[in-house]
Structure 1
Amino acid sequence: MTASVATAEARRVRRYHLALLAVAALILLLSLARVIGDAPELTSSGTFSAALLLAVPIALAGLGGLWAERAGIVNIGLEGMMVLGTWFAGWAGYQWGAVAALVAGLLGGALGGLLHAIATVTFGVDHIISGVAINLLGPGITRFLSEVLYAQGTAAAEKGAGITTSPTLSSTAPEVSLPILSDGPDLLGKLESTHWFLLSDVAGMLRGLTHNVNVLVILAVALIPLTYFVLWRTAFGLRLRSCGENPWAAESLGVKVYRTKYVATVVSGAMAGLGGVFLVFVTTKYVEGQTSGRGFIGLAAMIFGNWRPGGLAVGASLFGYADGLQLRSSQAVTGLLLFGALLLLVYTGMQVRSRLAAELPGVRQYTAAAAAALAAVALLWLWLTVDKLPNEFVFITPHVLTLLVLSVASQSLRPPAADGVRYRRGEQH
């Protein structure tokens, strides 16, 4: 038993070291792409600051999906729950301030999660159908409430509200800077402006991630390791995950499956609602349609992360970074093509090296490497021939990236075994 524990610990340490090496390699490739492609926005503090703001609501929606699906509840209603979170945050925030907005947004999202739990857990409704219904109910309910509470002649209308927007929040969450790195003299900003290879790139990244950071961003980032600890390091988390793998076996061991699924789904809605609160804090008001499909992208980030918090964080960061780049300039997106080509070339080299080391015979073993090499050549050709991308292509870049990443990640996904399965107490499967 001691030897197996030591082996597992060694594997965790090895994965940790490999993750650090991967991050260092990505930073190096980004710096190379920035220098070769003359695209300073690839590693600028502005890009990373925007990426952080754009990644947070995606990560929160993904965390919501993670909580539900680890308990066996497919939750594609994250978008509707985010919409409920935005409306309730805007409604409470203009009257009572930031804290009230936070609490109301959490409760609004949790209400959507409760509806999903009632439909799927209690009444056995198909999880997809229930999720679609919540995605339709969310915008419908919020429009109805806006027409009732923000109509002309009301106190809210006098403060600038309309049927598609709430009054401005009376207060928002404060912003903080990390001591030493971004507080006081702007040393990172000065180093970034030198445009030195690698050093200025690292400075730009650090400045973007640590300078004037919203407190809610810090809370959202802290929720990722907290979720890992609760779900993978506590007895409650073990019971919750057992409900997603085999609820009948969990039932036989005394786990209260219905209650656990309810808790997980309500927490899922609250997480999505918190993502909506963040959007309201960024715009300082509720605006109809401000979620812009981030609930669905959060679901994609969760799937990309293989239903684990660390992978989810990577997926949300990737989508947020692509979205931040397209907001900066089309030249930045062109530089992303070069970065993608360099990344694929490195991947091709790693695949060929691993195949040669394993001495695997046959042409089929090199299919992945060949496909990656062809994709790298295509991206290089686009980078060399396209001076400025059309605005339409720049706008859809995050969505195209979502599809590409999911198509690659889907080869090694392992969802919970009973995810989406209808459960009834006493049944045997």
Structure 2
Amino acid sequence: MSSNLSTLTDRVRPRGRVEEGRRRGPRLPVVLLLLAGALLLLSVVRAVTDQQSVTSPDQWGAALTVAAPIALAGLGGLWAERAGVINIGLEGMMILGLFTAGAVGWQYGPWAAVAAGVAGGALGGLLHAVATVSFGVDHIVSGVAINISVPGIVQYLAKLWFAAEGSEAAARGGTDGESPQMERMEPFSVPGLSGWLGDLDERDWFLVSDAAGILRAAVHEVSWLTLITVLLFVGSYLVLWRSAFGLRLRSCGENPEAAESLGVNVYLYKYAALIVSGGLAGLGGGYLAVLVRRYLEGQADGRGYLGLATMIFGNWRPAGVASGAGLFGFMDVLQTRDPSVVHAMLLLFALALLSYVGWLLYRGRRTAALTTGAIGGLLWVWYAVTDSLPPELVEAIPYLTTLLVLTLFAQRLRPPKAIGRRYRRGEGG
């Protein structure tokens, strides 16, 4: 068994590239240094602009709540694409999870809604697998078809189940655009630690209070589904990168012919990956339904596409997906805050980009450093000469952030080698 796994590793990816990938992977000291630098920038911006909500527990708690569904969609995309299948249909699978969670939750409670959301999304993943793996349909075409057809199907079913005249659902407030309300899933707080961090946050100490405010968001009034999301990211990393199953699944996305020659059932692994992918996206939809205690038409609101963007930004790695989702969640929450807080983010972005220029110069990438420095300088000037931002621009902040981040980091991306390829057993010789 160990001999076969070693052979599979060698055939899936050349040894030189494996070593190169290891050298490029951020180590723990580097990650801690980046986190410390980010905290310092946030503290400076909070002190200079006097916008306390930049590091407040409320801001970061809301960002964590918004980020979790996006992160789940991104993690679902990672599972699919690591197996070599492009999953553009994450948005449709999330909508399926949202609808099934709402349909079940008002009758059986929030935990049943979570299970139903996973099942609904997994059904969408299975449909995508049948189309792409079994019938060889183009991955993009299949995903787009799911995204187009699912909203219409869900809209029809909502009218049939929630708004039917004389039905129990209609009597309890269901309409063609929303389900009846379900019970609330109570959040949890870590005793002692939550209060202690709250006391530190109120002291208004530079850096210390800022760190306490951000950390308190992770231990005070936290949804159980947020905790499950964190555990799923850890579990996905262990399964995909620290197990024989994960090695075989990733081999299907790198070199399916080599995997087939060593006895791996490529079809089976692609099916498994897509079902898990859909289930995770469906869980993201279930999260949204539990959050507002019902199904609401249009509530997914493009989060599946943002999840796809976080997967690309994260370079098809769980930690990268989580980082991207956290960034987009933070920016999305800014839309609900005071416009002056959004204006302060211009200073934060300017400082972050100018700090990144130093790293680029250290690596000898002068052209990239010049471009990044110019963008950072323009943001600095924008912040200095204005007092607020137009409302239309504030609403577009999450999507503009997505474009900016993907543009800056596009050169370091490495998708799975066989992603999007039509695979047929025996064609590799």
SS at match of 1:47: helix
- Residues 108-147 of structure 1 aligned to structure 2 (within 5 Å): 108-147=120-159
CA distance in 2, matches of 1:295, 1:45: 26
Distance in 2 (CA, whole Å) between partners of 1:213 and 1:165 is 25
Give a deviation string over 1:232-258, Cα, whole Å, max 9, x none. Answer: 111110110000011111111000011
Identical amino acids, percent of aligned pairs: 52
**Structure 1 residue 130, shift from structure 2 partner:** 0.3
The reply on whether 1:330 has 2:330 as its aligned counterpart is no
Aligned letter for 2:174? A
Residue of structure 2 equivalent to 1:256: 265
Whole-Å separation in 1 of the counterparts to 2:227 and 2:82: 24
**Matching residue of 1:342:** 351
* Paired position in structure 2 for 1:417: 417
* In structure 1, C-alpha distance between the alignment counterparts of 2:131 and 2:190, rounded to whole Å: 44
1:364-407 CA distances to partner (integer Å, 9 max, x unpaired)?
Answer: x4111111221111111111112111111111100100111111
| Map of 2:179 onto structure 1 | 166
Q: Is the 8 A contact 1:326 1:332 kept in 2?
A: no
Tell me the distance in 1 between the aligned counterparts of 2:37 and 2:214: 14
How far the C-alpha of 1:17 sits from its partner, in A, is: 0.8
In the other structure, the counterpart of 2:11 is: none
Q: Structure 2 CA distance, aligned partners of 1:272 and 1:118?
A: 18
Pick the aligned partner of 2:299 from 275, 290, 298: 290
Gaps of 5+ in 1: 356-364
- Structure 1 residue ranges, 4+ long, deviating more than 3 angstroms after superposition: 10-14
Task: Tell me whether 1:279 sits opposite 2:279 in the alignment.
Answer: no
Is 1:21 the equivalent of 2:33? yes
Rounded Cα–Cα distance in structure 2 between residues aligned with 1:55 and 1:353? 32
Other-structure match for 2:244 = 235
Partner of residue 30, structure 1: 42
- d(CA) in 2 for partners of 1:247 and 1:372? 39
Q: For residue 317 of structure 1, what is the aligned residue in structure 2?
A: 326
Tell me the secondary structure at the aligned position of residue 165 of structure 2.
coil
| Conserved? CA contact 2:121–2:283, under 8 Å | yes
Q: In structure 2, how many angstroms separate the alpha carbons of the residues matched to 1:353 and 1:337? A: 25
In the aligned structure 2, how far is the partner of 1:165 from the partner of 1:13?
Answer: 45
Q: Which amino acid counterpart does residue 218 of structure 2 have in structure 1?
A: L
The TM-score, its normalising length taken from structure 2, stands at 0.93
CA distance in 2, matches of 1:13, 1:247: 24
**Structure 1 residue 74 displacement after superposition:** 0.3
* Alignment correspondent of 1:226: 235
Indicate if the aligned counterparts of 1:42 and 1:325 stay in contact, CA closer than 8 A: no
Structure 1 residues 210 and 353, CA gap change in structure 2 (3 angstroms): same
SS of residue paired to 1:422: coil
Question: How far, CA to CA, are the matches of 2:416 and 2:367 in structure 1?
Answer: 29
Deviations 1:317-354 (A, max 9, x none): 11011112222221111111101111112112222344
Give 1:264's aligned amino acid.
A
Equivalent AA in structure 1 for residue 356 of structure 2: Y
Q: Which residue matches 1:362? A: none
- Which position in structure 2 is the counterpart of 1:369? 369
Deviation at 1:12, TM superposition (A): 9.8
Q: Secondary structure at the match of 1:312?
A: helix
What's the counterpart of residue 393 of structure 1?
393
Q: Distance in 1 between matches of 2:392 and 2:23?
A: 45
Q: CA deviation at 1:273?
A: 0.2
Deviations 1:204-248 (A, max 9, x none): 101122101011100001111100000011111011000001111
Q: Specify which of 182, 187, 191 is matched with residue 196 of structure 2.
A: 187
- CA-to-partner distance for each residue in 1:76-95, whole Å, 9 max, x for gaps? 00000000000000010001
Report deviation, 1:11: 6.3
In the alignment, what sits opposite 1:63? 75
Q: Name the residue aligned to 1:47.
A: 59
- Rate the CA distance shift 1:385–1:13 in 2: closer, same or farther, 3 A: closer
Structure 2 alignment gaps of length 5 or more: 1-5, 7-15
Partner SS state of residue 213, structure 1: coil
Structure 1 SS opposite 2:39: helix
1:87 aligns with 2:99: yes
The letter for the 2-side match of 1:32 is V
- CA shift, 1:188, in A, is 2.3
Alignment of 1:383 onto 2:383:
yes
| C-alpha RMSD of matched pairs (Å) | 1.9
Distance apart, 1:180 and its partner CA: 2.5
Contact 2:114 2:290 in 1 (8 A): no
Distance 1:156 1:401, change over 3 A: same
The count of corresponding residues between Structure 1 and Structure 2 is 412
Q: For 1:11 and 1:180, how far apart are their aligned partners in 2?
A: 41
